[in-house]
Every structure is written in C-alpha cells, then in structure tokens.
Structure 1
C-alpha cells in the first residue's frame, strides 16, 4: 500500500511552549498553508492552539 504525497504526516507543536506534540495527516491539496488545530495540552491543562511545524 503506497503512501500518497498529497497526505503527508505532519507534527503539531503546542503554542503554549510546553513541548507537547501531536502527529496527524493533512491533505496538502485542500490545506496548503500551515495547519493550526485547537487540541488539549496535558502539561498546560487546557486546550491551546497547536501549529504545524516543518
């Protein structure tokens, strides 16, 4: 089963500065810009923005 380059694996890092990361896949054709998702940061104890890092 081949991996498509249109859906790469991206790392999301917390903007709270705690060093927490999530790993997900995104569709590069629909979302060419950096992905920003609001997810739970267990170190900060709240939901914060996670930004795609390159």
Structure 2
C-alpha cells in the first residue's frame, strides 16, 4: 500500500540549539504552514519549541 502525500513525514528540530529532533507526520491539507510544537528536550531537561525543518 502506497504512502499518502497528504501526510508526509517531517522532522521537528529543537530551537534550544541541542540538535535533538522528533519525527512525526502532519496533514498538509489542514496545516500547510510550518509546524511548531512545544515538546520536551531531554538534553536541556525542559520543554521548548520544536520547529519543522525541510
């Protein structure tokens, strides 16, 4: 079964500068802009913003 292009795999990179990343999927139809999520960065041991990188 082929993967849908409406939900591509994206990498979320930490804005704290640690280089820590999360991998997730997003619905391109609902969120066409770059995704920003507040998630836990274990390197700095706190929650920071993670931005979508391409």
1:1-20 equivalences under 5 Å are 1-20=1-20
Q: State how far apart, in whole Å, the 1-side matches of 2:39 and 2:53 are.
A: 15
1:1-54 equivalences under 5 Å are 1-54=1-54
Residue 29 of structure 1: how far off its partner (Å):
0.3
Q: State how far apart, in whole Å, the 1-side matches of 2:48 and 2:28 are.
A: 23
How well do the aligned residues superpose, as a CA RMSD in angstroms?
Answer: 0.4
- Structure 2 unmatched ranges of 5 or more: none
TM-score, normalised to structure 2's length?
Answer: 0.98
